[in-house]
């Protein structure tokens, strides 16, 4: 082990401030695992990291085809970064299809590390290459390293006594070893991780370990590479860090919120990409008293969560777009029942089945309006993988305090992406008071044991929050019936009275609108002070990183631009109108056709401009930068050539 960790003598080590690497191969090649482990090693090493997994919806699309290519992009740096990087400077391609599908993204003059063994005639044909790109000169603009990864892996597999067919499967570890050498990563974390991960099958562990080490040694000894690289640890804020995906942060946030509210957590959920990992994670945490029900369908998932909420649990349901469609009627029921409920939508490309594994922000208007009747639901959105933790707690706070279903919007990019997260001080997580209704005093109005219901008023509201009492079954004297039929104000009895209906519609709307008073004002990042810059970028959700990186790039040119990012989409923060009206130009980048821009235009009568991207991929910082430059009257074409590095340090 120590020999592999030694700095190679023959090679010069070049310092880099950042690098973007994309691992690409067949969906069976283990590229997600390779990328995840490279990220973990880099995080432990102290780099800032951001990732973009990108895989097909099919578990195993036909091998060697473009449709079956699975990729994992990771950005590592010695300073704090906001995105997984616009363009990879290094592409590891395990076969021709992986090269073809990803070459367009690689920055000009980038490095290609290809598995030369994968470029046989058949594979080239499957990928649709008329001639071999490794020999036909078409890759002249890149630095190409051809490495016979398969044959070298088979070689060490033979030593381990593994059948050739099985041995080949270790080639992703060869690639990982090689890239670890190339970027001077310590080997221990990966070796330790492998010994745990493959503990149950010593033969596989042995083969993978040998392949990993062979890759590392190959870089060191093959004299193929003129240099290797070093990306020093980032100067991050002091603290204890962990690497976290959005879905895990969300699951942990729910556990933390339930804990702070003193409520048992109940999740009713049906498996769906890309939300299932939340169900998986919560299913593991039974020692927290977390109950998870893998329901028979999406509707049962939310129905069970509503039933649990009626009984005094923190009811949660998780899904993605198609599941939200199915849950809509039940969300309306929860609006009418006025029970706490958290509905989590990990957005993906739509409509219909759409792009199950790709990201999009196109469910905002559905969350806002996707129910019959006047059916207001608060909406909270997470902005980064780690922010999912905080967003989950905020969604629970609103749901419990205001007795309402709350939408929590995340998306595929946040769900699967990861970043280092400075762990919060557990003691600083605020408490949430469920404030259950308590049994009435036994008194004059009460005939003792044979009390009569009808005294308790389940829709008598709190004067400040307009929330109704949360009265749990098991509490004597609070027996009451609720349901989806319109209720009489205060008593909660069924009522078809026209004026009462109008009053209830207004009360439910006023309750949700009133949440704004508990929401902090939106902060504006503007070097010139509020309203100072000529352009405000307004974002929500996962565009946070790309917008933030674009702002840095614009400022690096000596220009001014402001950024405001919304966590609360309904109601909006109380100062939002004032903020928007203080800017000449407001640009709203969204991965949809302009849903937030519609909302703010309607709400505030401001001429917000929409900037949209619906490719199943997050924005690149350069795309937003270009749009800002255009607004500032600077020719983006002329500007692009002198564009500063993406994600420059702030």
* 474: contact with another protein by CB under 8 A: yes
Interacting residues with another protein between 262 and 281 (CB under 8 A): 264, 266, 268
SS (HEC) of 259-301: HHHCCCEEEEECCCCCCHHHHHHHHHCHHHCCEEEECCCHHHH
Report, in Å, the least distance between residue 291 CB and another protein: 6
Q: Which of 17, 80, 120, 329 binds another protein (CB under 8 A)?
A: 329
- Name the token pair of 414: 């946040």
Q: Are 324 and 370 in contact (CB under 8 A)?
A: yes
Interacting residues with another protein between 618 and 637 (CB under 8 A): none
Report, in Å, the least distance between residue 378 CB and another protein: 21
* 452: contact with another protein by CB under 8 A: yes
d(CA 349, CA 359): 6
* 569: contact with another protein by CB under 8 A: no
- Name the token pair of 140: 């002249």
C-alpha dist (Å) from residue 351 to 343, 344, 362: 19, 18, 9
Closest to another protein by CB, 125 vs 297, is 297
Report, in Å, the least distance between residue 300 CB and another protein: 4
Report, in Å, the least distance between residue 624 CB and another protein: 29
- Name the token pair of 549: 């990186």
d(CA 306, CA 312): 10
Closest to another protein by CB, 284 vs 581, is 284
Closest to another protein by CB, 307 vs 530, is 307
* 484: contact with another protein by CB under 8 A: yes
Closest to another protein by CB, 400 vs 621, is 400
Closest to another protein by CB, 7 vs 296, is 296
Q: Which of 142, 310, 436, 604 binds another protein (CB under 8 A)?
A: 310
Interacting residues with another protein between 389 and 428 (CB under 8 A): 422-424, 426
Interacting residues with another protein between 521 and 560 (CB under 8 A): none
* 121: contact with another protein by CB under 8 A: no
- Rounded to the nearest 10 degrees, what angle do helices 171-182 and 202-221 cross at? 40
Block residue for tokens 């503007």 = 526
Q: Which of 36, 111, 184, 330 binds another protein (CB under 8 A)?
A: 330
Q: Are 270 and 301 in contact (CB under 8 A)?
A: yes
Q: Which of 2, 9, 450, 641 binds another protein (CB under 8 A)?
A: 450
- Name the token pair of 428: 């600083």
Phi, psi dihedrals of residue 407, rounded to the nearest 5°: -85, 130
Block residue for tokens 């401030």 = 17
Closest to another protein by CB, 42 vs 362, is 42
Q: Which of 62, 476, 520, 521 binds another protein (CB under 8 A)?
A: 476
d(CA 447, CA 454): 13
* 256: contact with another protein by CB under 8 A: yes
Block residue for tokens 């709307």 = 509
Report, in Å, the least distance between residue 432 CB and another protein: 14
What is the chain's length?
650
Interacting residues with another protein between 286 and 305 (CB under 8 A): 286-291, 293, 295-297, 299-301, 303-305
User: Strand (E) positions, 338-415?
Assistant: 341-347, 379-381, 405-411
Report, in Å, the least distance between residue 165 CB and another protein: 33
Q: Could you tell me the end-to-end alpha-carbon distance of the chain, in angstroms, rounded to an integer?
A: 38
């Amino acid at each position: 082990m120590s020999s592999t960790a030694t700095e190679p003598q023959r090679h010069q080590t070049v310092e880099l401030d950042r690098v973007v690497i994309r691992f690409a191969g067949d969906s069976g090649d283990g590229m997600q695992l390779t990328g995840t482990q490279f990220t973990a090693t880099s995080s432990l090493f102290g780099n800032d990291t951001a990732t973009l997994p990108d895989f097909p919806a099919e578990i195993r699309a036909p091998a060697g085809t473009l449709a079956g290519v699975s990729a994992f992009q990771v950005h590592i740096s010695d300073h704090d970064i906001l995105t997984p990087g616009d363009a990879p400077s290094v592409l590891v391609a395990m076969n021709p299809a992986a090269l073809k599908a990803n070459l367009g993204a690689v920055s000009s003059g980038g490095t290609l590390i290809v598995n030369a063994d994968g470029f046989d005639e058949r594979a080239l044909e499957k990928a649709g290459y008329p001639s071999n790109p490794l020999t036909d000169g078409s890759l002249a603009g890149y630095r190409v390293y051809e490495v016979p990864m398969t044959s070298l892996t088979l070689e060490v597999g033979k030593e381990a006594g593994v059948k050739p067919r099985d041995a080949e499967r270790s080639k992703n570890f060869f690639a990982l070893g090689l890239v670890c050498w190339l970027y001077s990563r310590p080997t221990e974390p990966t070796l330790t991780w492998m010994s745990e991960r493959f503990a149950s099958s010593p033969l596989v562990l042995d083969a993978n370990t040998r392949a990993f080490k062979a890759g590392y040694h190959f870089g060191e000894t093959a004299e193929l590479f003129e240099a290797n690289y070093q990306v020093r640890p980032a100067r991050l804020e002091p603290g204890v860090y962990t690497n976290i995906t959005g879905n895990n942060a969300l699951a942990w946030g729910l556990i933390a919120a339930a804990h702070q509210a003193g409520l048992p957590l109940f999740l009713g959920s049906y498996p769906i990409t890309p939300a299932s990992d939340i169900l998986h994670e919560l299913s593991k945490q039974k020692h927290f008293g977390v109950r998870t029900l893998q329901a028979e369908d999406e509707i049962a998932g939310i129905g069970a969560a509503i039933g649990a909420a009626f009984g005094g649990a923190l009811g949660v349901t998780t899904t993605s777009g198609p599941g939200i469609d199915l849950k809509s009627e039940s969300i309306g029921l929860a609006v009418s029942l006025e029970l706490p409920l958290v509905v989590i939508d990990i957005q993906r490309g739509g409509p219909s089945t759409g792009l199950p594994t790709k990201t999009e922000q196109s469910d905002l208007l559905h969350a806002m309006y996707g129910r019959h009747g006047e059916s207001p639901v608060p909406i909270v959105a997470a902005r980064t993988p780690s922010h999912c933790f905080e967003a989950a707690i905020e969604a629970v706070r609103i749901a419990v305090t205001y007795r309402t279903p709350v939408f929590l919007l995340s998306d595929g990019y946040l769900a699967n992406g990861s970043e280092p997260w400075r762990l919060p001080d557990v003691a600083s997580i605020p408490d949430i008071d469920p404030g259950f209704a308590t049994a009435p005093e036994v008194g004059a109005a009460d005939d003792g044991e044979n009390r009569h219901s009808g005294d308790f008023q389940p829709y008598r509201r709190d004067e400040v929050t307009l929330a109704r009492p949360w009265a749990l079954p098991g509490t004597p004297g609070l027996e009451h019936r609720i349901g989806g039929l319109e209720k009489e104000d205060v008593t909660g009895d069924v009522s078809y009275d026209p004026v009462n209906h109008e009053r209830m519609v207004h009360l439910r709307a006023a309750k949700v609108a009133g949440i704004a008073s508990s929401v902090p004002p939106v902060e504006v990042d503007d070097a010139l002070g509020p309203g100072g810059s000529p352009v405000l970028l307004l974002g929500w959700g996962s565009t946070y990183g790309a917008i933030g990186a674009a702002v840095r790039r614009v400022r690096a040119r000596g220009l001014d631009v402001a950024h405001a990012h919304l966590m609360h989409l309904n109601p909006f923060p109380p100062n939002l109108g004032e903020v928007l009206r203080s800017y000449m130009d407001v640009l709203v980048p969204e991965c949809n056709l302009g849903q937030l821009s519609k909302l703010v235009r309607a709400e505030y009568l401001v001429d917000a401009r929409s900037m949209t991207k619906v490719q199943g991929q997050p924005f690149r910082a350069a795309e937003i930068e270009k749009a800002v430059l255009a607004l500032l009257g600077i020719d983006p074409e002329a500007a692009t050539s002198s564009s500063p590095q993406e994600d420059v340090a702030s």
